[in-house]
Amino acid sequence: MKNRRKFIKQLTSLTAVVGIPSILLGQTPWNNTKEVKATPPATSKSPKRALNRPLIVSTWDFGLKANEAAWTILIKDGAVLDAVEQGIRLCENDPNERSVGFGGRPDRDGHVTLDACIMDHKGNIGSVVFLEHIANPISVARAIMEKTPHVMLAGEGALQFALEQGFKKENLLVADSEREWREWLIKSDYPPAVNIENHDTIGMIAMDNAGNLGGGCSTSGMAFKMHGRIGDSPIIGSGLYVDNEVGAVTATGQGEEVIRVVGSFRVVEEMRHGASPQKACEKAVVAIKEKFVLREKDWSNTQIGFIAINIGGEIGAFSLRPGFTYAVKLDTVAEIRKARHLID
């Protein structure tokens, strides 16, 4: 201890002579400056917050019905997170949606393992990964956020927590998913790539009447993935990010690639620095493509898509390859749109 103090003293006097920045010595040179904020506000180019103009955007075609469920809450002046949770639960509960919740496709060992996360306008976050036997991981993620001192629970521990909270334990593997898995086992072709048949994730971002943003993301991940594999969807910053001063973003597609560039956070940061939601999504997809190039990897069997909204109620969406759709709900509009893409 004495030696350490002596060392710091010597270093400090050395600084005076050679000018070592005080930050390297653990001092904060700006701590007298009132204006510095950890999270800089959006730039002067950023739009004004839209009030009393609720808006919901969700990934893929099934986002349309999820949006409808969420909308019933938002038009009654409900909170954005309630809307997001209810919208996502609708997809999770549908056995015909085979990439989410009940009915999700299993991993290569026949286990349906689910991932989800949720984030509100205050920066509260909850995430659950590698959860089995519970149909609504989005609600488990919310319970983790609201009822534990943590932000993420995994596997057995997450299941134990969910059961303590009263969630019902059930078999999530429906006959169609089991049949597909048995067919897949014959060739056991691996690694599985994200393509049009074997994935989807419900990601939903929304704004309520008060202009507050929130979002959620839920998935069974890539079909026939390795047991224990986690994608981007439950990773705050990758599969989802919300900054109430800027915008909200969620991702879908090959999670490994989204994680590589911390995709959703990246899109929010692009918006913070003045990009429209559309431009911001485009930049993140380009960044992903650049990583493929750098690593000399083939992207021909990969899909990645982002959707984004900003506080002004503008919408953006972009994907690596064709085929990414998203659902929009606002005022009298309830529709599925095709995202623009980078590579044919």
Residue ranges that bind ligand ASP, judged by CB under 6 A: 194, 199-201, 219, 221-222, 231-233, 252-255
Establish whether 201 is a catalytic residue. yes
Q: At what angle do helices 155-164 and 137-147 cross, to 10 degrees?
A: 80
CA atoms within 13 A on the CB side of 124: 17
Shortest gap between Cβ of 138 and ligand ASP (angstroms)?
Answer: 14
DSSP reduced 3-state for 69: helix
Q: 132 or 200: whose CB is closer to ligand ASP?
A: 200
Measured distance CA(68)–CA(156) in Å, rounded: 33
20: its two tokens: 């070592």
User: What residues have CB less than 8 Å from 332, skipping those under 6 apart?
Assistant: none
Q: 177 or 201: whose CB is closer to ligand ASP?
A: 201
Residue closest to 255 by CA, chosen among 62, 139, 99: 99
Q: 129 or 246: whose CB is closer to ligand ASP?
A: 129
Q: What is the identity of the amino acid at 226? A: M
Q: 11 or 196: whose CB is closer to ligand ASP?
A: 196
Shortest gap between Cβ of 30 and ligand ASP (angstroms)?
Answer: 38
Q: 136 or 201: whose CB is closer to ligand ASP?
A: 201
Q: How far is CA 59 from CA 175, 251, 306, 307, 339, in A?
A: 25, 8, 8, 7, 10
Q: Which of 59, 113, 201, 252 is catalytic?
A: 201
Shortest gap between Cβ of 222 and ligand ASP (angstroms)?
Answer: 5
Shortest gap between Cβ of 11 and ligand ASP (angstroms)?
Answer: 47
Shortest gap between Cβ of 304 and ligand ASP (angstroms)?
Answer: 8
Terminal-residue alpha carbon distance, the chain: 62
- In the block, tokens 């991993």 appear at 107
Measured distance CA(97)–CA(202) in Å, rounded: 10
Residues known to be catalytic: 201
